[in-house]
Amino acid sequence: MQYIRLISLTLVFFITGCNDDGIISSCGDLPSGSNKFDITNVNVQVLLAPTTTPSSSRVSGDLYNQGTEVNYDDIVFSINAVTQVVAAKKKESKGFSFSLISSAYACSLLPPSTDEKIIDIKVTSSADFNNAFSAGDSLKSKFEVTYTESYARFFTYENEEKIYYNLIEYLEQDDVYAGKVIQFKLNEEPEFAGYHIFYIELMLSTGEIFLLETAEIRFAQ
């Protein structure tokens, strides 16, 4: 009789602790619907990158003040996605056991993600970078990815040292899924200092192409 009573109490907990969607109320106010999103637009920011920022961490510093002199390694380029939630497909209940299983896993929500993949990221400058890279030439090899809010890997280890992928290496991977943020910075100082405007073209697997333009950056002489 004690075993039967314990099972009954357990069932009462699951029944009374769930809302209409089968989510356990003890989890708090969890967002309903899907954890998938679509990218509808993107923008680019040039951020000051403090030297105290931990490696592989998102930079959320102050915006670079256009036209002020700055060292090449003191800024980071942040591409930020504007997203919308993808409507979830509601599943029909197939009996009490289905509802019970759904409730048990309701707290294990996956982080938001998208099925959209990055096909290409092109970066050029309005000015000559050095003798080998003129204005308008691809600068993928000159930028390394320092953070991405997706499942795509952007670094490796060599002799216990973290080595970031440049944009060429990053894009050579299979299934480079997009995320809400991707950040990269120059890995080499421009030989020709002065004013640069960087033009960025982001292409997604959906066929969407976003054209971005940074603020005018004045690199230290």
Look at residue 55 in the predicted model and tell me its pLDDT: 65
The domain limits of the chain are 2-33+87-104, 37-85+114-219
Look at residue 49 in the predicted model and tell me its pLDDT: 87
Mean pLDDT by 10 residues, the chain (221 residues): 46 41 40 75 93 72 92 95 80 44 42 91 97 97 95 90 95 95 95 93 98 96 74
Pairing of strands 161-164, 155-158: antiparallel
C-alpha torsion sign, points 209, 214, 220, 221 = positive
9: exposed, middle or buried (Cβ count in 10 Å: 0-12, 13-18, 19+): exposed
Look at residue 88 in the predicted model and tell me its pLDDT: 64
What CA–CA distances, in Å, run from 154 to 23, 116, 149?
35, 17, 10
**Length reported for the chain:** 221
CATH of domain 37-85+114-219: 2.60.40
Look at residue 21 in the predicted model and tell me its pLDDT: 38
On whether the CB atoms of residues 38 and 84 are closer than 8 A, the answer is: yes
